Amino acid sequence: MKLRVTDMTQFGRVAVLMGGTSSEREISLLSGNAVLDALIKRGVHAFAVDGIEALKTLLISHSADKKIDRVFNILHGQKGGGEDGVLQGLLEAFGIPYTGSGVLGSALTMDKIRTKQVWLAMGLPTPRYIKLHRGATSDEVNAAANQLGLPVIIKPASEGSSVGISRVFKTSELHQAVELASSYPGDMLMEQLIVGSEFSVPVIGDEVLPSIRIVPKGEYYDYNAKYIADDTQYICPGLEGEAEMQLRSLVLQAFKAVGCSGWSRIDVMRDQQGNNYLLEVNTAPGMTSHSLVPKAAAQVGISFEELVLHILESSMNNTASNGDAHGR
């Protein structure tokens, strides 16, 4: 990967949008400050903006010192986050280029259920699932678990960063798992639990970076293992030879199928028989010291600062994948 932009002034005034009001605010702030620092070090005129409301204030200002030429979106989540298409629609209306997927890709992939429906329609593998509506009765939950067969995973359909997720091995654990997932907005998802290895695979533009196999010290890669613990192992590339190529090919198909563009990270489970199952898409991946996209980039010789510039550079494309245009 080679940077096309060598004159940093071409980017103009870059608002690094972080924080917000979603459940992932803390991680977004960590990511945003890392991105901001990298841009400033490389000579980009970048500044922090905390949340969409603050961004709106700047967008309607006519003051020259508050002008925004493009947005590096590092908000996470929905409802105050920047991954559900609302922010993207706002920036489209103002004609402001931005990083990441457009309205379609962002809105679709924020909903794990609809993302799986698209993948299944395209013949792409994803774990079997059942949608649970808010207020689902015990009988409905038990029936879903019987249909899928334990163990299962229960999680909110529109949250990230492993919030609200439970692994259920016994019928007696179902109620508590549903109670936790239903404390977040939107529907819930009960999904077949795939026993095997977890992988995360970043995509920058049309290039798939090496996969990362995640080996937590504990039994699962939960919030603590992602953002707090220092003993999680990240093996990159996660596979070798043909198996690695097949995984990357599947991820690129999945990325394009749901209208993503710019950059994303796709999570995959690989069972003990070597079958891959697509889990979900993160259209504004974390960029903290624990984050996976920088780890994969480093494997192919791309520094954190260069990675940030590659992502920012993607906002200069005239048309995003699958007709989802932005960055004008």
Which residues belong to the active site? 24, 161, 227, 265, 267, 280, 282, 286
Strands (E), the chain: 13-18, 45-50, 70-73, 129-132, 152-156, 166-168, 188-192, 196-204, 207-208, 212-215, 233-235, 263-271, 276-282
CA 248-253-259 angle, to 5 degrees, is 130
Tally of CB atoms within 10 A around 88: 25
Residue among 252, 265, 273 nearest 226 (CA): 265
Asked if 52 and 82 touch (Cβ cutoff 8 Å), the reply is yes
**Coil, helix or strand at residue 15:** strand
Tally of CB atoms within 10 A around 61: 12
Q: Is the dihedral of CA 236, 281, 1, 27 positive or negative?
A: negative
Q: How far apart are CA 41 and CA 35, in angstroms?
A: 10
Q: Name every residue whose Cβ is closer than 8 Å to that of residue 121 and which is 6 or more positions away in sequence.
A: none
Amino acid identity for residue 102 in this structure: G
Asked if 197 and 277 touch (Cβ cutoff 8 Å), the reply is no
- Report how far Cα 166 is from the mean position of its chain's Cα atoms: 19
Asked if 96 and 297 touch (Cβ cutoff 8 Å), the reply is no
Q: How far apart are CA 12 and CA 315, in angstroms?
A: 12
Say how many CA atoms lie within 13 Å of 294 toward its Cβ. 16
Cis peptide leading into residue 210 (ω within 30°): no
